[in-house]
Amino acid sequence: MVSIHLPSLNMKPGTLPPSLRTIPPHFRPSAPWPVLLMALTLACAAFAGDNQREWNVRDFGAKGDGRTVDTRAIQEALDACSRAGGGTVRIPPGTYLTQPLRLHSNLTLLLEAGAVLQATREPRDFMKEPGDWLQARSSSDFLPLLSGSRLTNVTITGAGVVDGAGEVWWPAAEEARRKRPGYTLPRPRMIILSRCRNVRLSGVTLRNSPTFHFVPTDCEDVWIENVKVLAPDHAANTDGIDPSRSRRVVITNCVFDVGDDNIAIKSGSLVPDHPFACEDLTVVHCRFFHGHGLSIGSETVGGVRSLRVRGCVFEGTENGIRIKSYRGRGGIVQDLVYEDIRMNNVERAITFTAYYPRIPAEDEPRPFTPETPRYRNIVVRNLTATCYENAGVIVGLPEAPIENVQLQNVEITAERTGLELRHVRNAHLENVVIRPKRGDPLIVRDATGTGLP
């Protein structure tokens, strides 16, 4: 058995952190937090100990010279590893140009320091069917750089880099967005793993994806640690990590500096036999730089339950912590805990809204449907922030107010206005200090609870 040291979590097996012990039962994850972490740790350790065979892509003819397209050699190494029952595929230092690659079960893809898995610069290489990529209807018309479906025990690790050559794709996307505000020109993702179990991403740098960098979809037991996700702040739709309809996901000690959501938890459809498509997610000790912050949504139809965010730092992001959805694409989002968070020079510290992309000044109640956004049981505590715009918004719908929001030990300084609470029920504010440059600290309309003006 290989042991995995987790210094940042500071927990003993079988014990709850003191901060979690104080959370009311309805705020706690559906499975105990240490149990989830230990299960993931043991799964990764067992996999590491049972798979010692190794295949070097150089032995299959990969050049790594930055000129030769090495797709065939790398894929042959991956396939040979799979035929043998699993093991490690090693990528030594060098720049390996590649088209899309398929991963397998019981596989460790190891990128050594100095190794760059570099996407080719030809968009046609990533299209499922030949044609003009500018006429693609959706991202599903493209193949990701790395992909796998229905796999078990998949690890991408090492000190190397996966580069998506996004600079080939971004100019056309920006031009399309200028012509049609809000339009997202379809482009490929970097890594998509679908319906996989026991997934680990460790140590690597993901950079310059055409759009989203890593999308685990319908996955279970996902561990992401010490990963950097990088893209220019002007690169549209370059989300960092987007857990989609996935359960038991841990993201720890990662760095995000991208052009869109740093993390976006998505739940765009119902999952059979699961009342919540996204469940038991943990984000601890991560740093967020340029980007749109840590988001839930905008798709929440399948529901999201049990998110824990702790010990994170935001520097210069557009948003800090965020929930975004809208009528017709909403569902239940509940049992969220954000604690021990520091933000500096963000646009807004807190953005919880059932309107997207814009919040109207006035609105009338509409018929309640299964796709009406509903948020409840949210704790934000021990948060300090400076904002170059507003302190934030907590805005529900007239027909579906946000319920049971606790703000404890929150201090926000804003260059413009304060914190707006609208259509909120049972808010509890304790030791909350908002310092706007103009107007009232708290802007309250149709909100009830304690600690309100």
pLDDT tens digits along 211-244: 999 999 999 999 999 999 999 999 999 999 999 9
For residue 222, the domain's CATH number is 2.160.20.10
Per-residue model confidence (pLDDT) at position 37: 53
Top pLDDT among 23 and 82 is at 82
Per-residue model confidence (pLDDT) at position 182: 87
Measured in residues, the chain has a length of 453
Residue 173 in any domain: the answer is yes
Whether the predicted pLDDT of 396 surpasses 90: yes
Residue 75 in any domain: the answer is yes
Residue 245 in any domain: the answer is yes
Give residue 30's pLDDT band: very low, low, confident or very high (50, 70, 90): low
Per-residue model confidence (pLDDT) at position 27: 40
Whether the predicted pLDDT of 168 surpasses 80: yes
Per-residue model confidence (pLDDT) at position 238: 98
Give residue 340's pLDDT band: very low, low, confident or very high (50, 70, 90): very high
Note the pLDDT tens digit of each residue in 189-216: 999 999 999 999 999 999 999 999 999 9
Per-residue model confidence (pLDDT) at position 48: 46
Whether the predicted pLDDT of 9 surpasses 60: no
Residue 426 in any domain: the answer is no
Residue 442 in any domain: the answer is no
Residue 79, helix vs strand vs coil: helix
Note the pLDDT tens digit of each residue in 262-275: 999 999 999 998 99
Per-residue model confidence (pLDDT) at position 129: 95
Single pTM value for the model: 0.90
Q: Could you give the CA distance from residue 396 to residue 393 in angstroms, rounded to a whole number?
A: 10
Residue 283 in any domain: the answer is no
Per-residue model confidence (pLDDT) at position 18: 37
Note the pLDDT tens digit of each residue in 82-138: 999 999 999 999 999 999 999 999 999 999 999 999 999 999 999 999 999 999 999
Q: Could you give the CA distance from residue 224 to residue 222 in angstroms, rounded to a whole number?
A: 7
Q: Which residue has the tokens 């690597």?
A: 204
Q: Could you give the CA distance from residue 88 to residue 106 in angstroms, rounded to a whole number?
A: 9
Say what percent of the chain tops pLDDT 90: 88
Top pLDDT among 306 and 32 is at 306
Per-residue model confidence (pLDDT) at position 29: 46
Total domains present in the chain: 1
Domain extent at residue 146: 54-259
Task: Show Cβ contacts of residue 354 under 8 Å, excluding neighbours closer than 6 positions.
Answer: 325, 326, 327, 330, 373, 375, 395, 396, 397, 400, 402, 423
What DSSP string describes 406-426?
Answer: EEEEEEEEESS--EEEEEEEE
Backbone angles phi and psi of 355, in degrees to 5 = -120, 140
Residue 32 in any domain: the answer is no
Residue 126 in any domain: the answer is yes
- Using an 8 Å Cβ cutoff, are 388 and 410 in contact? no
Return the beta strands (E) in 244-391 as ranges. 247-252, 255-257, 263-265, 278-284, 287-288, 294-297, 304-310, 313-315, 319-324, 332-346, 348-353, 374-387
- Using an 8 Å Cβ cutoff, are 256 and 238 in contact? no
Q: Mean pLDDT for the chain?
A: 91
